[in-house]
Amino acid sequence: MSTHTKLTEEHIRQLLQSQRELHAPETLKREARLKDYESEYKRSVEDPEKFWAEIARELDWHELWTKTFEWNYPKFGWFLGGRCNITYNCLDRHVKAGKRNQVAYIFTNEDGTEQ
């Protein structure tokens, strides 16, 4: 085993046992869509169909769904009858809105540096 492999395995073991908490940068907190996790989580558990229908309306749909959720054990389906293009929702609509050449994702490393 190479030294690099040993360091990687040791690092992973340390991370699995770490009690340290990593917190989001303040700028990310201010700009986040989700401001109150506990409240939103509670809503999602109390009425999941209503909650997810509200969230789904934030996307662009070619056709809106006719039924939010259906469960006929063992099969289930979400947004029945709806049609959307997830690639358009992830990328194209932002380019169309003039948000070209902007960072799409910021990753914060264990040491706090960002990529």
In a domain, 25, yes or no: no
Domain count for the chain, please give it: 1
Q: What secondary structure, in 3-state letters, does 45-91 show?
A: HHCHHHHHHHHHCCCCCCECCCEEEEEECCEEEEEECCECCHHHHHH
E strand or H helix that includes residue 41 = helix 37-46
Q: Which amino acid is at 44?
A: S
In a domain, 26, yes or no: no
pLDDT at 57: 96
pLDDT at 5: 54
pLDDT at 28: 85
In a domain, 17, yes or no: no
pLDDT at 10: 79
In a domain, 27, yes or no: no
In a domain, 98, yes or no: yes
pLDDT at 56: 96
pLDDT in tens, the chain (115 residues): 444 556 678 777 777 787 878 788 888 888 888 889 999 999 999 999 999 999 999 999 999 999 999 999 999 999 999 999 988 888 888 888 887 777 767 777 877 787 7
Q: How many CB atoms lie within 10 A of CB 53?
A: 17
In a domain, 76, yes or no: yes
Distance CA 81, CA 62 (A): 10
In a domain, 13, yes or no: no
What range defines the domain where residue 58 resides? 34-115
pLDDT at 68: 97
In a domain, 103, yes or no: yes
